[in-house]
Structure formats: structure tokens, C-alpha cells
Amino acid sequence: MPARSLALVLVFLGGVVGWSAPAPDEPTPKELEAALQNLKQIGLGFHGYSDSHEFQWVDDITDKDGRALLSWRVALLPYLDAEDLYKEFKLDEPWDSAHNKKLVAKMPKIYAPVRVKAKAGETFYQRFVGKGALFNEKGSSYKLNAVPDGLSNTALVVEAGDPVIWSKPDDLPFGAKQPLPKLGGLFGGSFHVLLGDGSVFRVKKDFDVDEMKKVIMPDDAQPVDTRKLQK
């Protein structure tokens, strides 16, 4: 083949490859599917826990005075096929005790970032915690079978903007009249939401903040327009 023709073919092929590949800042279908499946499994874990605890939501592990010691992510381990790891924790000690801190490095793959880099033992999967959210500093005021707005309209876990140590009782602060914390650290601003019924959807970067707050609040009696949220 003449050199000029070969050059044209290579340019054409390069254009095709460039056109079909995702942009550098765009997630691949494989990454999106991995995140979706992680959250679905976490949702199944929440429901498995509730089935075994009279419809109570899994929550942070606390001491007798109510001080949070370990994250709900640790409490959920027996329902994520990780009971052996759960048994390694000293549940009466904080996450950063000499013993428990060694287990940070054993974070299950289900909590690990599917795309961006984070420090070892860090996860983006977090809940909203605060007055008006499904969870507050003392747990949840609602049982799984009695969420006023319905499980399909209430956020359970989201992909936060910044990662936290998975075993540390650390989540996203929420206030109905306060700005939302940073979200979407895994996918450049867009993020997935796990709802109380176990379903998952992806929220676009330029989402409607007020509409998102409706999803976070379990008892606002406001209909949700997902067109203002979904990507």
C-alpha cells in the first residue's frame, strides 16, 4: 500500500477509535456496572439485617453511652458474606484502637472505589446523617416497613464526594436548609443513589438540589420528579 494511502487509513482508524472510546473523564460501562452492583449488594445487606432485627436499620456500633465506635459498614459485614472479618473486630473498641485499626486494610472489595484512587481502606459509600434525614446522630426514627415517603423515594446510601475510612463512623452531614455536601467523587460529579427498596439510579452532575433533598428526607410528603435528577 502506498505510504500516503496507509497514512490516511491510520488517521481514519485513529478517528474511529477516538470517537468510540469514552472521554478521559467519563466512566466506562464496566465501571458504572461495578458501582451499580456494589450498591445493590449493600442494599441487600441492609434488608438482610432488617429482616433479622425486627425491621430496624443497620447503624453504627456504639458503646453503652451511645458513642459511635465503628461504622454501619462494619455492622453490615455478616450480611455481605464477610462474617469472618466481622468477628475479627473488637466491637467494644473504637475503629482506631490498636486492634481495630489493623483491620482497616482488610476493607471488603464491595466498599472499594471502582474508578478513582483513594487511600487504602477508604470508601465513597456513605449515608446522609442529620435532622430530617433517614438517619440522625441517634440512629433512625423509622423502621424499614414504616418509612412515610416509601422506600422507593428515600435515599439510603450514596457515592460521596470525598472518601472516608470504611470502618470509621463517618458519613455525610445533612440539614434541610443547609447546602448539600460534596457528592460524586467516583464519577466526576455524577453519582449513584441506593434507595431504601434496594434500587439504584445515577444522578447527573447538574442535578436539582431541592429535588435531591426530597429523596434524602423520608417524611417530607413531597413527590419526587426524577427527571430533575437522573442521568
Q: Are 75 and 49 in contact (CB under 8 A)?
A: yes
CA distance 205 to 10: 36
Query: pLDDT for 53-88, tens place per residue?
Result: 999 999 999 999 999 999 999 999 999 999 999 999
Judged by phi (left if over 0) then psi (alpha if -120 to 50, else beta), residue 31 lies in alpha
Instruction: Kindly tell me if the per-residue pLDDT of 9 is higher than 70.
Output: no
Length of the chain: 231
Assess contact for 197 and 156: CB atoms under 8 A. no
DSSP 228: G
CA angle 35–205–44, rounded 5-degree value:
30
Q: What is the pLDDT of residues 119-151, one digit of tens each?
A: 999 999 999 999 999 999 888 989 999 999 999
* Alpha carbon distance 168, 70 (integer Å): 5
Are 88 and 103 within 8 A, CB to CB?
Answer: yes
151 touches 195 (CB < 8 A): yes
Our CA dihedral for 193, 194, 197, 203, rounded to 10 degrees, sits at 20
| Confidence category of residue 10, pLDDT binned at 50, 70, 90 | very low
pTM for the complete prediction? 0.88
